[in-house]
């Protein structure tokens, strides 16, 4: 082969190599550019994903904050309702007790004097009868008209019944004053049994025989020997009131549902077939050296698990519109758990009645 041809082919080969090298360089550049673009897209995609994740976390956090705010708002609303209700009730009850107490004290204080004066007059009449056994016709006629002998016999019963009535009113006033300790902002040393009895006295008319309970509601007490309890007396009395009212309502509902049946489209009384003795049992006891327990139970229809799970929720009620706000038990729960560091729960099952168990420490100062 000629040297010239060799050099020519060599140059051609070198040229081809250079061209291929340039193409390879361009391909590498294109590959690098595509790789960079892919990395950029991946980076943008990851950034978008991170942004979405952060937005989701922020949204969930905001949702929790809104739920907390709503719960706080409901709690505040309940507290305001409770505060206004308790304050108004306390003022009203205290005012009524004060207004009734003055005239009752006057009546009760003068009953003995009136009885003594009447006895003095009767003795004077007896003296006249002894020394003037034959009065004039006009006096004889008046004695017959007023039935003097019956008047003598009945006067003792009359004054006794008046005295019992005045004592009853005084007892009611005392219970109202006990119950109206709603504005006391400090712990007081009180007798728990007095608070329970004051609630029962105030609700006495609902325990008596009525259309809903012809035989009345029997209250069975089994009080243990409790020490004086340190508590917010008015608030604790409100808890007793709420739970006893619920027990009475449950027994009335039980009577209606048990004693009325539908036969051939007509409502009939079934009382003879299903006799029921409505009762409220109240038991108190010491459960440890520094805790007491109060149990208030009824023998009504009981509560199913679905309702029992919501008993202490604000505004939850199974009563008809206008018959309940759904705040009684939720307020009671707050009073026992938050104000007194205690516990309250309900034991119940359908057809087995309901029992509310309250446990509170004897001394609140130990919790402070």
Last residue of a domain, one of 60, 79, 106: 60
Both 129 and 275 in a single domain?
no
Both 246 and 328 in a single domain?
yes
CA–CA separation, 327 vs 316, rounded Å? Answer: 7
Residue 75 inside a domain? The answer is no
Residue 335: DSSP 8-state: I
Q: Which residue has the higher pLDDT, 175 or 312?
A: 312
- Lowest average pLDDT, out of 115-124, 252-261, 341-350, goes to 252-261
Distance of CA 1 to the CA centre of its chain: 117
Both 208 and 342 in a single domain?
yes
Per-residue pLDDT at 237 exceeds 90: no
Q: In what order do the strands lie in the sheet with 291-298?
A: 218-222, 279-288, 291-298, 354-361, 343-348
What is the average pLDDT across 298-319? 75
What is the average pLDDT across 201-214? 81
Residue 266: DSSP 8-state: E
Per-residue pLDDT at 268 exceeds 50: no
Tell me how many domains the chain contains: 3
Both 108 and 240 in a single domain?
no
190: left (phi over 0), alpha (psi -120 to 50) or beta: beta
Residue 78 inside a domain? The answer is no
Both 112 and 222 in a single domain?
no
Range of the domain at 266: 185-368
Residue 282 inside a domain? The answer is yes
The confidence band for 365, taking pLDDT boundaries of 50, 70 and 90, is low
Write phi, then psi, for 88 (nearest 5 degrees).
-65, -40
CA–CA separation, 197 vs 174, rounded Å? Answer: 11
Residue 32 inside a domain? The answer is yes
Last residue of a domain, one of 160, 183, 206: 183
> Could you read off the pLDDT of 81-118 as tens digits, one per residue?
655 565 556 666 666 776 777 787 878 788 888 888 88
Residue 70 inside a domain? The answer is no
Both 117 and 142 in a single domain?
yes
DSSP sequence for 110-150: HHHHHHHHHHHHHHHHHHHHHH-SS--HHHHHHHHHHTHHH
Is the Cβ–Cβ distance between 210 and 262 less than 8 Å? Answer: no
The residue to which tokens 């003037």 are assigned: 132
The confidence band for 274, taking pLDDT boundaries of 50, 70 and 90, is very low
**Residue 304, pLDDT score:** 80
Per-residue pLDDT at 53 exceeds 90: no
CA–CA separation, 278 vs 276, rounded Å? Answer: 6
**Taking the CB of residue 54, how many other CB atoms lie within 10 A of it?**
10
Residue 81 inside a domain? The answer is no
Per-residue pLDDT at 323 exceeds 60: no
Both 261 and 357 in a single domain?
yes
Helix/strand/coil for 213: coil
**Residue 356, pLDDT score:** 92
> Could you read off the pLDDT of 67-85 as tens digits, one per residue?
888 877 776 666 666 555 6
Both 44 and 156 in a single domain?
no
Both 154 and 202 in a single domain?
no
Both 139 and 191 in a single domain?
no
Both 42 and 109 in a single domain?
no
Q: What is the CATH number of the domain that holds 303?
A: 3.30.565.10
Secondary structure in 3-state letters for the chain:
CCHHHHHHHHHHHHHHHHHHHHHHHHHHHHHHHHHHHHHHHHHHHHHHHHHHHHHHHHHHHHHHHHHHHHHHHHHHHHHHHHHHHHHHHHHHHHHHHHHHHHHHHHHHHHHHHHHHHHHHHHHHHHHHHHHCCCCCHHHHHHHHHHCHHHHHHHHHHHHHHHHHHHHHHHHHHHHHHHHCHHHCCCCEEECHHHHHHHHHHHCHHHHCCCCCCCCCCEEEEECCCCCCEEECHHHHHHHHHHHHHHHHHHHHHHHHHHHEEEECCEEEECCCCCCCCCEEEEEEEEEECCEEEEEEEECCCCCCHHHHCCCCCCCCCCCCCCCCCCCHHHHHHHHHHHHCCCEEEEEECCCCCEEEEEEEECCHHHCC
Per-residue pLDDT at 363 exceeds 80: yes
Name the E strands within the chain. Answer: 188-190, 218-222, 229-231, 260-263, 266-269, 279-288, 291-298, 343-348, 354-361
**Residue 155, pLDDT score:** 83
Last residue of a domain, one of 21, 44, 60: 60
> Could you read off the pLDDT of 340-358 as tens digits, one per residue?
889 999 888 887 888 999 9
**Residue 192, pLDDT score:** 92
Both 27 and 111 in a single domain?
no
Residue 68 inside a domain? The answer is no
């Amino acid at each position: 082969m000629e040297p010239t041809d060799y050099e020519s082919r060599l140059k051609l080969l070198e040229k081809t190599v250079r061209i291929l090298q340039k193409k390879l360089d361009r391909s590498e550049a294109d590959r690098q550019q595509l790789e960079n673009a892919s990395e950029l897209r991946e980076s943008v995609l990851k950034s978008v994903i991170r942004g979405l994740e952060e937005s989701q976390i922020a949204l969930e956090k905001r949702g929790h904050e809104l739920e907390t705010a709503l719960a706080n708002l409901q709690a505040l609303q309940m507290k305001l309702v409770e505060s206004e209700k308790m304050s108004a009730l306390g003022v009203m009850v205290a005012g009524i007790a004060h207004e009734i107490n003055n005239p009752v004290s006057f009546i009760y204080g003068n009953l003995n004097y009136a009885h003594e004066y009447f006895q003095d007059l009767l003795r004077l009449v007896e003296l006249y009868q002894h020394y003037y056994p034959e009065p004039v016709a006009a006096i004889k006629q008046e004695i017959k008209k007023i039935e003097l002998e019956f008047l003598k016999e009945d006067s003792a019963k009359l004054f006794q019944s008046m005295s019992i009535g005045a004592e009853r009113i005084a007892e009611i006033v005392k219970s109202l004053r006990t119950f109206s300790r709603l504005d006391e902002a400090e712990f007081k040393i009180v007798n728990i049994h007095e608070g329970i009895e004051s609630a029962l006295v105030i609700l006495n008319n609902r325990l008596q025989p009525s259309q809903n309970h012809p035989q009345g509601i029997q209250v069975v007490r089994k009080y243990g020997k409790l020490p004086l309890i340190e508590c917010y007396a008015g608030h604790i009395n409100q808890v007793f009131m709420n739970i006893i009212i619920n027990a009475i309502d449950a027994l009335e509902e039980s009577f209606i549902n048990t004693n009325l049946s539908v036969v051939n489209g007509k409502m009939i009384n079934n009382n003879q077939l299903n006799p029921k003795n409505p009762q409220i049992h109240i038991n108190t006891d010491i459960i440890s050296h520094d805790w007491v327990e109060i149990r208030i139970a009824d023998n009504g229809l009981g509560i199913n698990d679905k309702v029992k799970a919501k008993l202490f929720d604000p505004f939850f009620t199974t009563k008809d519109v206008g018959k309940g706000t759904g705040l009684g038990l939720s307020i009671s729960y707050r009073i026992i758990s938050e104000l007194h560091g205690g516990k309250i729960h309900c034991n119940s099952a359908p057809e087995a009645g309901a029992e509310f168990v309250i446990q509170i420490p004897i001394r609140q100062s130990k919790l402070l």
